[in-house]
Structure 1
Amino acid sequence: MATDVSVVRVFTDAEGRFGNPLGIVTADDVDEADRQQFAAELGFSETVFVDRSESGTASASIYTPAVELPFAGHPTVGLSWWLREQGHPVDVLTVPAAPLDIRYDEDHTWVRARAEWTPHFTFHQVRDAAEVAAADPSAYDSGHHYVWAWTDEEHGALRSRMFAPMMGIVEDEATGAAAVRLTGELGRSLNIVQGAGSRLRTTIDGDWVELGGRTAADASISV
């Protein structure tokens, strides 16, 4: 029996271009023991399995092709947007790391998180956007590597790419968890262009980081 997968792209630009694909699956449709294999076969950088049984809340598990994650940025932002599109907007989305506060504005969906919930990233600050573009994914054969450079340091704007072979991801188009972690380390709000042109925004308030971006729907698939 085929399983329906809704697909969205998270952290698009204002015209709906770019963004990181996310697979969204109803939790009851795939047994917990089969979810890692399902995510690996689907092949997106992350797939979420969602339970939306209560009004105003939902819970989800998050899988890369290789591992389950307690928290990730693009799945939580994208899923929260999709839930609102389905007529089930949420104030709280619970993932293994913690319940997450969610808010919506006209263009963006926002998730409130803490840097310690994210994986450990090795940050490589380089001179400029051209050096970011020249980074070779094959040079990173372990760990989680985030290569970045300021494009307008005064206004918190930067260019980045992320390579995560341990997660089964050669290169991630848009990485919300890394944005949260870097925001915490730098102690300032950021406006990030990652990958081919995805857009991520963050704000910081003490130990809390709010991560936001736009999401667009793609065609659903059956697996």
Structure 2
Amino acid sequence: MAIDVTVLRVFTDSEGNHGNPLGVVDAATVQPGDRQRIATELGFSETIFVDLPQPGTSTASAHIYTPAVQLPFAGHPTVGAAWWLRQQGTPIHTLRVPAGVVQVSYDEDLTSIRARAEWAPELAIHDLSSTEELLAADPNDYADGVSHYLWTWTDRERGQLRARMFADGLGVTEDEATGSAAVRITDYLARDLTVVQGKGSVIYTEWNPEGWVRVSGRVVDDGIRRID
């Protein structure tokens, strides 16, 4: 039986450009043993399988897969799933993923999640000297099975930075917009940030000294894709 996959772009700019593609699947339509196969076939950096909220509740649960592995937490899938649930008429306050309970909020065109910094996967963080050096980086130079986050300030005073993410060990040569990496860099720098990643995706973060980070962004629906 064909499976309907809603394809979103998460962390677009204010004009709806860029953003990281995400597959969203109603978990009730897929056997758990087929999740990894579907995520691999789709080829997005992540695909999320969502258990819809029970009637009268405001919490859902979900499982996240890259083309190669399952993740306990990831940022752009949780933001995308929260946005998708509101579009379905079932906005939520919390989303349960294997790492823990993600808090959700909505503010006009922004969808936000709040997560623990330690839930984000470990990264090798590279502070580069310029945007030119960042844009010239070759993903093949970082194909060692480690997730690499390259970044540089574009406006330190305003907390604005430019970033790229390479994660070949997760089956992702370059990730267009990485919410979990934004959580890590926000905690690392201990301040609120505006992150422009990849070709121009935009992620907003808020730092909390108790180890929580809020990640916010815009989402665009690119329609339905059907796979067997």
TM above 0.5, yes or no, is yes
Match of 1:175 among 178, 189, 204: 178
Partner of 1:39: 39
Q: Tell me how far 1:11 sits from its aligned partner.
A: 0.1
Partner of 1:200: 203
- The answer to whether 1:103 aligns with 2:105 is yes
Q: Tell me how far 1:59 sits from its aligned partner.
A: 0.5
What amino acid maps onto 2:159 in structure 1? G
Q: Tell me how far 1:53 sits from its aligned partner.
A: 3.5
Identity %: 56
Residue aligned with 1:61, SS = strand
Partner of 2:131: 129
- The answer to whether 1:213 aligns with 2:221 is no
Q: Following superposition, which runs of at least 4 residues in structure 1 exceed 3 angstroms of deviation?
A: none
In the aligned structure 2, how far is the partner of 1:215 from the partner of 1:129? 26
- The answer to whether 1:165 aligns with 2:168 is yes
Using structure 2 for the length normalisation, give the TM-score: 0.96
- The answer to whether 1:189 aligns with 2:192 is yes
Residue aligned with 2:180, SS = helix
In the aligned structure 2, how far is the partner of 1:108 from the partner of 1:115? 21
Unaligned 5+ segments in structure 1 are none
Partner of 1:149: 152
In the aligned structure 1, how far is the partner of 2:14 from the partner of 2:189? 26
What amino acid maps onto 2:46 in structure 1? E
In the aligned structure 2, how far is the partner of 1:107 from the partner of 1:27? 26
Match of 1:56 among 40, 55, 58: 58
Q: Tell me how far 1:75 sits from its aligned partner.
A: 0.1
In the aligned structure 2, how far is the partner of 1:135 from the partner of 1:85? 38
Residue aligned with 2:191, SS = coil
What amino acid maps onto 1:56 in structure 2? S
Q: Tell me how far 1:32 sits from its aligned partner.
A: 1.1
Deviations 1:144-189 (A, max 9, x none): 0011000000111000000000000000000000000111111111
Partner of 1:115: 117
Deviations 1:50-70 (A, max 9, x none): 111323111000000001000
In the aligned structure 1, how far is the partner of 2:38 from the partner of 2:221? 21
Residue aligned with 2:137, SS = coil
8 Å contact from structure 2 (residues 53, 90) kept in 1: no
Alignment length, in residue pairs?
223
In the aligned structure 1, how far is the partner of 2:89 from the partner of 2:173? 35
Partner of 2:21: 21
